Amino acid sequence: MTEIIIIRHGETEWNQTGRFQGHSDVPLSETGRTQAEALGRNLALDHVDAVYASDLTRAMETAAPLAARFGLGVISDPLLRELNFGAWEGRSFSDVNAENPNAMKQFYNDPECADIPDSEPFPDFQKRVAGRVRAIAELHRGKRIVIVSHGASIRILLADILAMPIRSIWHISQLNTAVNKIRFEDDGFAIVTLMNDTSHLRGVGQ
């Protein structure tokens, strides 16, 4: 059995202000750094064999305290990045909605058909993230691996594993530093054993 623990990054200022982050390299906020420290300190694990993270700063910063606890470095991986939001990157949700409410409605109701100029198509996004996570699981068979990634990345992975349509991904909650666990059997069959857990943040701003 191989266990993948995939965690969303901590809070950023762009999370606070409701802006599309995507591939933009936004660091953690003060609250996000506190969340990452709590994750590293409180997550109930007796060992970890490797720690991967998206190469974006907010993911690497979130992974660092947990990796340090187990004497590990963080393996930076651009394939674990968030969706590339193209022309929406850096823009606020409210501004995009005011400019084109139909596009925002489509984004949430049928993201595969979302009209976002220069963005990454959702099917390509799913192949990128789910393919990389499955490759990591195969590379580390029988081990426990932590991956720190992003909200939409984790949702699109869970949709792949649960055979959900892509249009359902926004029905899955992913809070900052939410912990999800996936068990991969030797034949590649995957079972989600935990979703969106933030019990490590008790007493910490969420």
Digitized pLDDT (tens) for each residue of the chain, 206 residues in all: 999 999 999 999 999 999 999 999 999 999 999 999 999 999 999 999 999 999 999 999 999 999 999 999 999 999 999 999 999 999 999 999 999 999 999 999 999 998 899 999 999 999 999 999 999 999 999 999 999 999 999 999 999 999 999 999 999 999 999 999 999 999 989 999 999 999 999 877 55
Report d(CA 123, CA 15) in Å as an integer: 24
Report d(CA 139, CA 36) in Å as an integer: 26
Q: What are the tokens at 119?
A: 């963005």
* Catalytic-residue membership of 150: no
Residue list, annotated binding site: 8-15, 58
Closest CA to 129 of 144, 113, 148, 106: 148
Q: What are the tokens at 145?
A: 């691996």
* Catalytic-residue membership of 82: yes
Report d(CA 200, CA 62) in Å as an integer: 13
Q: Which of 3, 61, 82, 89 is catalytic?
A: 82
Q: Which domains does the chain possess?
A: 2-201 (3.40.50.1240)
* pTM, rounded to two decimals: 0.96
Residue list, annotated binding site for substrate: 8-15, 58
Report d(CA 11, CA 16) in Å as an integer: 7
Q: What are the tokens at 97?
A: 């909605």
